[in-house]
Amino acid sequence: MEKTWRWFGPKDPIPLAHIREAGATGIVTALHQIPGGTAWDDDAIAERKALIEAEGLRWSVVESIPVTNAIKARTADWRHDVDVWKDTLRALGRAGIDTVCYNFMPIVDWTRTDLAWPLKSGLALRFDIIDFATYDVFVLKRSGADGDYEASVLAEAEARFRSMSEERKEELERIILAGLPGSDFAYDRAKFTDLLGVYDRMGPDELLQSLTEFLNEVVPVAEESGIRLGIHPDDPPFPLFGLPRIVSTESDVAALLDAYDSPANGLTFCVGSYGSRADNDLPDMIRAFAPRINFLHFRNVTIEAPGIFHEAEHLEGGADMVSLCAAILDEEDRRRDEGRADSAIPMRPDHGHLLHADPVRNANPGYSYVGRLKGLAELSGIIHALTAIRQ
């Protein structure tokens, strides 16, 4: 596996030199300064690539080219934004960048309700469906929201709302609507409510059709450009705000891979995202979809209760990282035997805890330095040991 690290560009408080010292050889980044619906040009890509290579690293993965709501909801700007996406792919191909991660979550990207949940191992990200329902039903007051939750969740949410401080309500809104790292949105309440109306008649079948039409457009360009796409799963892997989510389960993955049968139409296999559902069998999913895994996010979660989970340490939580790494090494061996150029699958440690010893206190939530360095070291140890045993 190629050891990579997510870097948010020149404004990231963690410099490339520190990433190299952590043991990564590849960088996962994007041109976050360019808004969705605007093509990345050759000069901007070359400038970013040169910064990375000057530190002896490689731009291994783009995460992400924003997939706009116009594309997902197929509004009037759909054609323009799809063409822009294809132009960006072509430019990345000319620059020799061969892996692109993206997601197809409507409006809200990855979502949490706490950004600094205290654990013995440091401060972690956490999602609590009760807090989320509290915001959705009683703060945002979304029309029809109470029909999207079980009665027990609603009862707990109402009780929590009555005791919740105004400061916590405002914090929840900032966390949920203001966007997390890599998200292509930052909404106020009015703008968000208006955008919900765009998806008013869209269910899972309609969103899958939109994704299929998107794939029909972009996968041929990816093939021509020598690029492998990897769709990121829903995070969390269940509907939010009544919006459909269609990359949450094994059957979802099978449907999207069948929608366009090509190695270029592949997966970003995020262990934490799929692992946030108890009904996802991660080893089975990796074995079933291994030939189409183009990128890996190694993180772990602990499910506290249905709809409630926190980010665990990389070798703790519900996923057996040893067996998952072994399955990926099997796939890499198979690819080498086939002579595939993509036999080394890029992986990155994801969502490290913020440790007391971390000197970087202003990193993006989930993207601490020492927490991810620790995760990368642990994962590297597993991979090294498994590789030695197999020789």
Q: Which tens digits make up the pLDDT trace of 135-167? A: 999 999 999 999 999 999 999 999 999 999 999
Catalytic: which of 114, 131, 270, 325? 270
The pLDDT score that the predictor gives to residue 337 is 96
Contact between 115 and 122 (Cβ < 8 Å):
no
Of 350, 353, 358, 369, the active-site residue reads 350
Report the distance separating Cα 75 and Cα 252, nearest Å: 24
Active-site residue, selected from the candidate residues 274, 351, 353, 369: 351
Rounded CA-CA distance 33/45 in Å is 12
Return the percentage of the chain with pLDDT > 70, whole number.
98
Type of residue numbered 17: A
Q: What pLDDT sits at residue 179? A: 66
Distance CA 129, CA 127 (A): 7
Is 80 noted as a catalytic residue in this protein? no
Q: Which two tokens stand for residue 125?
A: 């990200």
Show the tokens assigned to 354.
Answer: 């913020």
Describe the crossing of helices 42-54 and 78-94 by its angle, rounded to 10 degrees: 40
Using CA of residue 276, residue 279, residue 282, residue 287, what is the dihedral sign?
Answer: negative
Cβ neighbours of residue 200 closer than 8 Å, sequence gap 6 or more: none
Domain ranges in the chain are: 2-108+196-390, 114-187
Nearest Cα to Cα of residue 276 among 376, 129, 149: 129
Low-confidence ranges of the chain (pLDDT < 70): 179-186
Q: How many CA atoms lie within 13 A of 371 on its CB side?
A: 31
Residue 199 falls in the annotated catalytic set: no
What is the DSSP track for 236-299?
A: SSS-BTTB---SSSHHHHHHHHHHS-STTEEEEEEHHHHTTSTT--HHHHHHHHGGGEEEEEE-
Show Cβ contacts of residue 369 under 8 Å, excluding neighbours closer than 6 positions. Answer: 14, 18, 22, 352, 358, 359, 360, 363
107 backbone φψ class: left, alpha, beta (φ>0; ψ -120 to 50): left
Active site residue 367: yes
Contact 296, 327 (CB under 8 A): no
Whether residue 187 lies in the annotated active site: no
Task: Report the pLDDT value the prediction gives residue 188, as an integer from 0 to 100.
Answer: 82
Q: Is 350 a catalytic residue?
A: yes
Which residue bears the tokens 């914090």?
171
Rounded-to-integer distance, Cα 266 and Cα 228, Å: 7
The pLDDT value recorded for residue 190 is 87
Contact call for residues 107 and 195 (beta carbons, < 8 A): yes
Task: Kindly give, in sequence order, each residue whose CB lies less than 8 Å from that of residue 165, ignoring residues fewer than 6 positions away.
Answer: none
| Of 297, 310, 314, 353, catalytic | 297
Q: Is 351 a catalytic residue?
A: yes
Active-site residue, from 102, 135, 199, 367:
367
Cα–Cα distances in angstroms (integers) from residue 13 to residues 10, 24, 31, 46, 184, in the given order: 8, 17, 16, 22, 20
pTM, entire model:
0.96
* Fold of the CATH domain 2-108+196-390: TIM Barrel (3.20.20)
Q: CB 278: neighbour CB atoms within 10 A?
A: 10
C-alpha distances in angstroms, 225 versus 87, 145, 153, 346, 370? 10, 43, 48, 19, 36
